[in-house]
Amino acid sequence: MKLEVKTVTKEFKGKIAVKNFSMAMQSGECVGLIGPNGAGKSTLLKMIADIIDPSDGEIVIDGKKIMKMKKEIGYLPQYPNFYQWMSAQETLRFMGELSGLSKDHLTKAIPKILSRVGLSKDADSKVGSFSGGMKQRLGIAQALLHKPSLLLMDEPVSALDPIGRREVLNLINDIKKETTILFSTHLLGDAEEICDRFIIIKNGEKIEDATIMDLLSRNDVKKISVEVASKNEQWIKAVKEFNFVKNVEVLGNKVEIEVENVQLNKKKLLESVLEHHVDLVKFEIKSGSLEDIFLKLVVEK
Ligand SMILES: Nc1ncnc2c1ncn2[C@@H]1O[C@H](COP(=O)(O)OP(=O)(O)OP(=O)(O)O)[C@@H](O)[C@H]1O
């Protein structure tokens, strides 16, 4: 299975929600579509799910128009709409029949899928009594009923409490072993836990498409911060003379040292601290977390 989104734009009455957006995904990948509120994530996922049409560009699976490949796609909307008075089993039967699945198929598939999402014991309980995590797991079951090869999920964990979030993240981690997944979130932490690759969207445009390792190395903050109890001018002078030191910034009792390679240069710097009897408070390697990188990308680009 190969999904290709080719220079897709979506305009709503003069407002561009997704602009000139391209991406591709292969079988077996789990990709996080990350962006702040209003970035265009839901719009993009709805176009891939063939719920709305692009204003321009095209989306294909294995080279064929998405319209003809709907069977390959499972979709969990941001706000799944369940009837509170139906049981889990009735909900899946109702939704399955609405999407054209046969009664026979559903009779066999529903118990399996309920077990897959950990809701076997709750098959006959009313959805109205379900927790947020259980509802979301039922939504995932509905999206998987027809055994799609690509599962699209719109903010599957954003509205959940920590327990529900854990339940759903564990389930997604399990499902990704057998299904290709594209899911949106505004929290990098959620994606970091389950995805191999991130696509960052802002104001409808793609601003990054990278693996965790790419992102970390491309946005590496090569700085060591040394906090001292009292300033030692001689040591600062010595630090400036190291050929691997690119910049030194003194901010009160903190000395921020930009180096060529943190891993290779940290030992020499620490040795110099000891040699000059610097009254050390803190020696810190300032490598940016993914969250810092994400904020930098989303705020600055
Ligand atoms: N049906 C619509 N009519 C008009 N504007 C729309 C419509 N759907 C989305 N938009 C606009 O398009 C932009 C992108 O919205 P979208 O819902 O895709 O963003 P999102 O990244 O999913 O945000 P959120 O996390 O808040 O759901 C927003 O400015 C939104 O107001």
pLDDT at residue number 12: 96
Q: Has the ipTM of the complex gone over 0.90?
A: yes
Say if residue 271 is in the same domain as residue 185.
no
Query: How many Å lie between the centroid of ligand 1 and the Cα of residue 143?
Result: 22
10 and 58 both lie in a single domain: yes
Give the pLDDT confidence of 108-155 residue by residue, as tens digits: 999 999 999 999 999 999 999 999 999 999 999 999 999 999 999 999
- Cα(144)–Cα(274) distance, rounded to whole angstroms? 60
pTM of this prediction exceeds 0.90: no
Query: Measured from the CA of 201, which atom of ligand 1 is nearest?
Result: 21
Residue that wins the pLDDT comparison between 215 and 20: 20
Using alpha carbons, list the distances in angstroms from residue 30 to 95, 117, 197: 26, 18, 7
Ligand 1 atom with the shortest distance to the CA of 46: 18
Whole-angstrom CA distances from 35 to 11, 18, 49, 99, 102 are 18, 12, 19, 30, 38
pLDDT confidence bin for 85, thresholds 50/70/90: very high
Of ligand 1's listed atoms, the one at least distance from the Cα of 40 is: 18
Residue from 9, 41, 43 to probe ligand 1 pocket by mutation (most atoms less than 8 Å from CB): 43
Question: 279 and 172: one domain?
Answer: no
Orientation of helix 103-116 relative to helix 88-98, angle to 10°:
130
Task: Please state the domain count of the chain.
Answer: 2
Q: Taking the CB of residue 22, how many other CB atoms lie within 10 A of it?
A: 12
Clarify whether residues 69 and 204 are in a common domain. yes
Note whether residue 171 is domain-resident.
yes
Query: Which ligand 1 atom is the nearest neighbour of the CA of 15?
Result: 5
* pLDDT score for 196: 84
- Give residue 43 CA to ligand 1 midpoint distance, Å: 6
CATH of the domain at 73: 3.40.50.300
Q: Which residue has the higher pLDDT, 219 or 196?
A: 196
Q: Is the CB of 38 under 6 A from ligand 1?
A: yes
Nearest CA to ligand 1 atom 5: 12
d(CA 240, CA 119): 62
Q: What pLDDT score was predicted for residue 221?
A: 67
- Are residues 168 and 240 located together in one domain of the fold? no
Which residues are CB-neighbours of 116 under 8 A, at least 6 positions away? 141, 144, 175
Q: pLDDT category, 301, cuts 50, 70, 90? A: low
**Banded pLDDT at 91 (limits 50, 70, 90):** very high
- 281 within some domain: yes
User: In this model, does residue 203 exceed pLDDT 80?
Assistant: yes
- Decide whether any atom of ligand 1 lies within 6 Å of the 35 Cβ: yes
What's the rounded Cα separation, in Å, for the pair 161 and 165?
6
Q: Range of 148's domain?
A: 2-217
Residues 157 and 252 in one domain: no
Q: Which two tokens stand for residue 47?
A: 């176009």
240: CATH: 3.30.70.100
Q: 250 and 134 in one domain?
A: no
End-to-end CA distance of the chain, in Å?
A: 32
Q: Looking at ligand 1, which residue's alpha carbon is closest to its atom 29? A: 38
